[in-house]
Amino acid sequence: MIMNTNGFNRQLFMRRAALIIYDILAVAASSALGLLMRFDMSYAELTATRDADIWIDSIWHYLPVCIVVTIALFYLFKMYHSLWTYAGIAEMGSLIVSCLSSGVAQFIGMQLILHRTVPRSYYFMYTMWLIVLVAISRFAYRLFRTFVQKRSETARNVNVMVIGAGEAGNSLIREMNTSRYIQKAVCCVIDDDPAKMGAYIHGVKVVGGRYDIIEAVGRYNIDEIIVALPSMPRKEIRAILDICQQTKCDLKTLPGIYQLVNGEVSVSQLRKVDVTDLLGRDPVKTDTDSILGYVKGKTVLVTGGGGTIGSELCRQIVTHQPKRLIIFDIYENNAYDIQQELRMKYPEFCTDRLLVLIGSVRNTARIEDIFEKYHPDIIYHAAAHKHVPLMEISPNEAIKNNVMGTWKVCEAALKYKADRFVLISTDKAVNPTNIMGATKRICEMIVQSYDKMGSTSFVAVRFGNVLGSSGSVIPLFNKQIEAGGPVTVTDPRIIRYFMTIPEAVSLVIQAGAYAKGGEIFVLDMGEPVKILDLAKNLIRLSGFVPGEDIEIKFTGLRPGEKLYEEMLMDEEGLQETPNKLIHIGKPIDMDADAFFRDLAELNLESKEEKADVREWIKNLVPTYEYTPGTGMYSDGKNE
């Protein structure tokens, strides 16, 4: 686009000038053709009529007025402002209305004001011809370009199938057909609506429903499938994607429905199918503005603040104006990363209200010093060792960090009268078969015991597996696929519950809002996912065929690993909360004095590196089951 320093757009000026000149000629031609059409386009027949001279004279004398009035009307209806390359129904409507207005204005001017005589049918003929001639000028280029693109579609190197014949699919196909920058040809459309079967969208046929996808891919030699169903529930999209993944086509999806409302749907917004599309449920949505009100003006401490959950907590907390945010982590690299991220996004807040401290929750003096200096009102306790196989061969470290660290932070929260303490727990704490899960169950018991000791509300939040967190299965699978395989799955039967990082954090936040004390909050995470299916889907989404391009290797269950995880113990039961996707496990009655005596003994035993602490854990957690001769006590066989 050519524009000088004063903002003058020469290209736009030239285009409008050309249209105005064309419209002047169109008005003159419509005037002549409107009269000729009255006599079957025969000039000889017209001149043979006795009133021919009067009619021609009337039209000729009124023509300058007609031109001025018509151009003014066209300008009023923005006929020189629209981008006719992308014109649609609205622009066509404006064109027709402006031409009709010109016809009415001509009737008023000639018949009622100047009292000029012309055949009564002339006004209708004039208007009709004006509409045709003006439409040709506005739509001829678009029609020509469409024709050229149709001729060149065979040269395009990607054949596309669009799934969804709704507004999103319509917008997508129109843009792909009109854009000269996209070397892709939309060959067919899929939609389950029987009323749309056999219909055409911008010249592309709706060839069938979801069960016709595989057959249509072969018939039309499809290379890429685009799912244009932004408002369809995740469960339905997953079923469709399961079918698409039986093909070798590249898969893309269109973003959410709000882009349609804002008129933002475009090819540039297509994205690769994400693994979250395959979980079979919609994301959990929470009203964080209302529930984070209790954070405003408070001093908030996040232990493990540099980790996956801790850092996301910090991102959300900082937007709700706490008095101070304290990030506490033993790993300085993680703490530094989230500090720099927050400084870039919220420089004003971070100037004097963000504090990053390095230290361990195992250090009593360090914890005591932090609580004495800053008196945190709300504590989110996310610091923990979480890797199941590693904790099996280092159980004493799991006790020292997870159990004793939680104990020390709870003691400080009670001593300095914090408002709330929220523990990050795990579904592996239910009937645990590994050290990590058992230590988390003990942490839950500590939290429930401390809730009865003072005014601080102690609660726990129980998670499933978090998608994309460090050490989780998704990054591992992606690395294995990038390396060419094999992708390792422990057992073909193993299943897990999954949640996204924002979902996990929103649950922590809601737990803090709902907390009355002693609760274990649990998220309804929908149906569990088979890890084998997840591996196959990731391989397909990467453009490979499972078992052919990328091998899947079964390695056997690791020490302490279950085939499936549970979210609640049988005796806990369930209570509802205002959010129907969040439930509360009832506190379990226990002898607190005996529990803390055993906990003190466990603390001493964990410091004896050669001691088998699992029997002590069994005393504290009767539901803990383990296989003797595994982990650190197996002479390295399972390491």
What is the radius of gyration, based on Cα positions, of the chain? Answer: 36
Determine contact, residues 426/462, Cβ cutoff 8 Å. yes
Name the residue with tokens 């079923």.
Answer: 239
Q: Which residues contact 155 (CB under 8 A, 6 or more apart)?
A: none
Closest C-alpha among 343, 383, 342, 375 to residue 359: 383
Q: How far apart are CA 59 and CA 377, in angstroms?
A: 87
Q: How far apart are CA 597 and CA 303, in angstroms?
A: 26
Q: What are the phi and psi torsion angles at 434 (to 5°)?
A: -140, 160
Q: Half-sphere exposure of 336 toward its Cβ, with a 13 Å CA cutoff? A: 3
- List the structure tokens of 535: 């591996």
Q: How far apart are CA 328 and CA 310, in angstroms?
A: 9
Q: Which residues contact 525 (CB under 8 A, 6 or more apart)?
A: 281, 464, 497, 498, 499, 567
Closest C-alpha among 529, 545, 536 to residue 493: 529
CA dihedral angle for residue 282, residue 286, residue 288, residue 292, rounded to 10 degrees? -140
Q: Which residues are catalytic?
A: 428
Q: Which residues contact 209 (CB under 8 A, 6 or more apart)?
A: 190, 191, 192, 197
Name the residue with tokens 């519950």.
Answer: 497
Q: What is the DSSP letter of 295?
A: T
Q: Cα 249 from chain centroid?
A: 22
- List the structure tokens of 471: 């050490």
Write the secondary structure of 31-65 as one string of H (helix), E (strand) and C (coil).
HHHHHHHCCCCCHHHHHCCCCHHHHHHHHHHHHHH
Closest C-alpha among 183, 193, 59 to residue 118: 59
What contacts 24+ positions apart, CB below 8 Å, involve 614-617?
Answer: 614/395, 614/435, 617/399, 617/435, 617/438, 617/439, 617/442
DSSP 388-423: HHHHHH-HHHHIIIIIIHHHHHHHHHHHTT-SEEEE
Question: Residue 243: is it exposed, middle or buried by C-beta count within 10 angstroms (0-12/13-18/19+)?
Answer: middle
> How many of the other CB atoms lie within 10 Å of CB of 366?
17
Q: Which residues contact 178 (CB under 8 A, 6 or more apart)?
A: 85, 86, 142, 145, 146, 149
Alpha helices in 451-591 (DSSP H): 473-482, 501-514, 531-541
- List the structure tokens of 43: 């000039």
